[in-house]
Amino acid sequence: MAEPRSLTSSALPPPRTRIFKIIVIGDSGVGKTCLTYRFCAGKFPEKTEATIGVDFRERLVEIDGEKIKIQLWDTAGQERFRKSMVQHYYRNVHAVVFVYDVTNAASFRSLPTWIEECKQHALGSEVPRILVGNKCDLQDCIQVDTDLAQQFADSQAMPLFETSAKNPNSHGDGNYHNSDHVEAILMTVAHKLKSQKPLVLSQLPEESRGTVTLSKDRKDGQDEDRSWSCSSC
Ligand SMILES: Nc1nc2c(ncn2[C@@H]2O[C@H](COP(=O)(O)OP(=O)(O)OP(=O)(O)O)[C@@H](O)[C@H]2O)c(=O)[nH]1
């Protein structure tokens, strides 16, 4: 007769990995692909092409001992490439990153349109949102003043971060000193999301891949103070 199997910890399924879906939105050319690549691959891409529809990158991080998968959805800035985007791209979004190019005033002026588009897909101020001014390494070409950007961010109840996907570590080289690191910015978002209690989107263990489970919605965490900032910058 077969021995009864004892239930040891090794027989238990591995814990589920939480997934945070973060969409990155802004005009074409502001650096969305470079920012997501910088976070997920740790470097600046040598060459990028205009995103068609949606690109998708992810990275596993550990926060307070919990492994969390951060999915960055890099959307096309060009209208003609956005047409192919499906409606469900906006579903189950945990946070939104709005990006403008600090050397391109038009990309800053477009922000209200992007914010409105998100609102139309039920992504308003109840969802964690941040504003990122990219290309801070191009100090001689700045067109968007930090004060103006900060005023706008305040009016939208969003924290503002200025950074460079190209050279996020230039604090020491004398070029510019007030920029935030891409890594720190996105980890700040992840910490914020983790501090929201309910599980939102869980991934089943390895053997059951292919199925995504939706559990409780995020309403409990929505009233938290939204004036959060990057602690490690
Ligand atoms: N100097 C500098 N150039 C950057 C930076 N980030 C991106 N770029 C350049 O800006 C151009 C556009 O970058 P992308 O990341 O492709 O822009 P995007 O927002 O994804 O554009 P779409 O896919 O068309 O929506 C590329 O030539 C990048 O090399 C940065 O931080 N500094």
CA 138 to centroid of ligand 1, rounded, Å: 12
Instruction: For residue range 42-67, list pLDDT tens digits in order.
Output: 889 988 888 777 888 999 999 989 99
Residue-wise DSSP of 173-222:
GTS-SSPBPHHHHHHHHHHHHHTS-S--EEE--GGGTT-EEE-S-SGGGT
CA 33 to centroid of ligand 1, rounded, Å: 7
CA distance 97 to 65: 25
Q: Is 102 in the pocket of ligand 1 (CB under 6 A)?
A: no
SS3 65: coil
Domain topology for 19-169+178-195: Rossmann fold (3.40.50)
Pocket test for ligand 1, best of 27, 34, 135 (most atoms within 8 A of CB): 34
Pocket test for ligand 1, best of 25, 39, 48 (most atoms within 8 A of CB): 48
CA 31 to centroid of ligand 1, rounded, Å: 3
Ligand 1 atom with least separation from CA of 47: 29
What number of helices (H) and strands (E) belong to the chain? 6, 8
Instruction: For residue range 13-44, list pLDDT tens digits in order.
Output: 767 889 999 999 999 999 999 999 999 998 89
Nearest residue (by CA) to ligand 1, atom 2, is: 135
Instruction: For residue range 183-198, list pLDDT tens digits in order.
Output: 899 999 999 999 885 5
CA 163 to centroid of ligand 1, rounded, Å: 13
Whether residue 199 contacts residue 69, with contact meaning beta carbons closer than 8 Å, is answered with no
- β-pairing, 66-75 vs 17-25, is parallel
Instruction: For residue range 112-139, list pLDDT tens digits in order.
Output: 999 998 998 888 888 999 999 999 999 9
Q: What is the pTM of this model?
A: 0.80
CA 71 to centroid of ligand 1, rounded, Å: 19
What is the pLDDT, as a whole number, of residue 7? 55
Is this complex scored with an ipTM above 0.85?
yes
Ligand 1 atom with least separation from CA of 164: 31
CA distance 120 to 124: 8
Nearest residue (by CA) to ligand 1, atom 7, is: 31
